[in-house]
Structure 1
Amino acid sequence: MSINMFNRKRMFVPLLCVAGLLLFQLVSCKNKTVSSSVQESVPVVDVPVFNADSAYSYMQKQVDFGYRIPNTPEHLATASYLASELNRHGAEVQVQDADVVAFDGTVLHAKNIIGIFSPEKTDRILLFAHWDSRPFADNDPDEANHRKPVLGANDGASGVGALLEIARQIGMKSPQVGVDIIFFDAEDYGQPYFSTHSEVQDSWALGTQYWVRRPHRPGYRARFGILLDMVGGENAVFAREKASLQYAPGIVDKVWKKAQSLGYGKYFSDNEGGYIIDDHVYVNKMGIPSIDIIQYDASSDSGFNPQWHTVHDTMDHIDKETLKAVGQTVLAVIYNE
């Protein structure tokens, strides 16, 4: 399947040369090895232990609400739950109401849910994920499913589940830096291939684009940001994503080396992935160097896992060990800052 950059929420640039994509100046004709060695496993002092069972439960709770599609009762119920959990873990919570316009002219009543830990600290790190689920299973093998909604266990709920567990740990023991956790909305309402409307650029990540124009604090700054997207899949591999390398190569190196030092080298690959249009691209454009931890599957046409944007993105394909690898790595990074 070919990738249409306007009709997909993210675009992976394949690892084979494709002449038509050269205009991006981001295509690599072969895998590049960023680091040839994996560090020996070393202990990390004073870092909380990420509980994968807890993160899994947070995922299950979101999925139990149903489809988290803007303008639905399930969406409102999930928003209330996420805000209350951040508050329960000690965050100062802001819910940013964001009316955004979808590709078809629909006004989406989106909600960006923001948890602020240690608001008095000026040295801050931003952690983020999207919490909505896609209305269209437009990558499903069965075309009859293309207009059905996606449950979004991995694509949405996994990143949020991992961050809620991280929030729980921060609530029990604060790191040296301030941490902001943002659950962005209306990320996955991008224009499907079957739309009869004119092509709309930037139809994805609408909640993030709104926040970038109107951050929760005027002049908001963070030292760096980490996006978690599809971080719970079985047999997941996280390659070094090209937009992350373009905007924040030092942060990529920091996170991948930390993962490898913790023994998670089989998850965090030194190979380059594709260039992915995701929430972090817009955060980078506002001047906060940010990276994307996202599953990459070189064997698939999309570059993502087989369940991506299908009706099969369910809890059946979630692996707690993947959640553990990502969550423990992020905790080790922020507690060593």
Structure 2
Amino acid sequence: MNFHTLRLPLAALAGLVLLTGCPDKKPAETADPAAPAEARLPRAPVFNADSAYAFTARQVAFGPRVPNSKAHVATGDYLVATLKGYGLRVLEQPFAAMTFDGTNIRARNIIAQYQPQAARRVAIFGHWDTRPFADNDPVKKNAPLDGASDGASAVAVALEMARVLSQQPDSLAPNVGVDFIFFDAEDWGYDAGTQATLKNQLDGAGDSWCLGSQYWAKNLLPANYKAEYGVLLDMVGARGGKFSREALSREKARFAVDKIWNTAARLGYTDYFLFNDSGGASDDHVYTNQAGIPTVDIIDHLPNNPEQYFPNYHHATTDNMAVIDRKTLKAVGQTVLQTLYVD
């Protein structure tokens, strides 16, 4: 996924449980307040998990998607071409940035609009880059990583949603336009827990994580962009993935949290979407919320483990195709796709 250890600006998220601390030791558990069993969900298209798996593998095949690399450029070009192939309106937002270690990078956010004429809009966010070093790996801390779940799986779910929606006749289209917004340079941040011997050259100059979403939030594209709510997908493809109701999501977009988790329950995915509350993650939704888009972060984490927030594959070389599970992709993809059809 992305940036998930100790990356919360304290002033921005005062009151949340930081990743450097202990997420809620006793996560709140509530019953599913879903509609009565006899109430039927609106008809929605079928999300194809095999297709999402193939989209994940295709990104991984390019190699680590580290900004300034050939694999990064090739992956970005592939995403743009694929989204244009589905008939979506595609916008690119190039930007330059300096990372915490002083590297000057060239990056780009990629935006694709389905039903761009629709007044009501929902944003699906994700990041498409990979971290340049596996600093959580017990052995290969300086090795690049595939980012199969952390990055590729989120983009893959979004690509499959875009593919499916593009095939729907007008009579089966949702009542909202959908914007697929892929952020770049999310994962090249400073982790004080694993990189304490390094100097963070951005210390005091802002958050070293989420550079793409920070840029987008200050330079909205499309201009003056608004959406009813956003869904940030991050680390959504690993076997046994668990998604709790993250703190900032509850604070800023509780109506969307309830909508998504209740939809998941009605689809039978309560093994994945857990009805318990967890501490805050510093992720791209920090900045999309600041931009006025109430955003939910669907992110694989361990809310019941006070010593460890993220799974072992996070920022490790084990985040490869071996961890990817079609069942997890299906649970997330079908849930988010169905939610677009729920008023």
The answer to whether TM tops 0.5 is yes
Question: Which residue number in structure 1 is paired with residue 240 of structure 2?
Answer: 235
In the TM superposition, what is the alpha-carbon distance from 1:164 to its structure 2 partner? 0.2
Give identity over the alignment, percent. Answer: 43
Question: Which residue number in structure 1 is paired with residue 199 of structure 2?
Answer: 196
In the TM superposition, what is the alpha-carbon distance from 1:293 to its structure 2 partner? 0.5
2:209, 2:45 → 1: CA distance? 34
In the TM superposition, what is the alpha-carbon distance from 1:29 to its structure 2 partner? 4.9
* Kept in 2: contact 1:41–1:262 (CA 8 A): no
1:146-201 CA distance string (max 9 Å, x none): 11111100000000000000000110123221110011100001024142344634
5+ residue gaps, structure 1 = 1-7, 14-19
Question: Which residue number in structure 2 is paired with residue 17 of structure 1?
Answer: none
SS, match of residue 225 in structure 1: strand
Structure 1 ranges of 4+ moved more than 6 A: none
Question: Which residue number in structure 2 is paired with residue 245 of structure 1?
Answer: 250
1:43, 1:66 → 2: CA distance? 43
The 5 Å alignment of 1:56-75 reads 56-75=53-72
* Kept in 2: contact 1:50–1:165 (CA 8 A): yes
1:180-224 CA distance string (max 9 Å, x none): 001110000102414234463411110111111111122110000
Pair 1:251–1:55, CA change in 2 (3 A)? same
Pair 1:37–1:80, CA change in 2 (3 A)? same
Question: Which residue number in structure 2 is paired with residue 30 of structure 1?
Answer: 26
1:16-42 CA distance string (max 9 Å, x none): xxxx9xx94224452112435676486
Find out whether 1:254 has 2:253 as its counterpart: no
1:26-62 CA distance string (max 9 Å, x none): 2445211243567648653320000000000000000
Question: Which residue number in structure 2 is paired with residue 175 of structure 1?
Answer: 174
The 5 Å alignment of 1:134-149 reads 134-142=131-139, 145-149=140-144
2:106, 2:30 → 1: CA distance? 42
Question: Which residue number in structure 2 is paired with residue 150 of structure 1?
Answer: 145
In the TM superposition, what is the alpha-carbon distance from 1:108 to its structure 2 partner? 1.2
Q: Give the aligned length.
A: 321
2:336 pairs, out of 326, 330, 334, with 330
1:122, 1:153 → 2: CA distance? 34
* Kept in 1: contact 2:33–2:262 (CA 8 A): no
TM-score (norm 1): 0.90
Pair 1:43–1:323, CA change in 2 (3 A)? farther
2:215, 2:150 → 1: CA distance? 21
Q: Which has the higher contact order (CA 8 A, sep 6+)?
A: 2
Pair 1:36–1:331, CA change in 2 (3 A)? closer
5+ residue gaps, structure 2 = 18-23
1:236-289 CA distance string (max 9 Å, x none): 110100110111111101100000010001110011122000001100011110
SS, match of residue 95 in structure 2: strand
Q: For residue 167 of structure 1, what is the amino acid of its counterpart? A: A
2:276 pairs, out of 271, 274, 297, with 271
1:76, 1:57 → 2: CA distance? 20
Q: For residue 186 of structure 1, what is the amino acid of its counterpart? A: A
Q: Indicate the RMSD between aligned Cα atoms, in angstroms.
A: 2.2
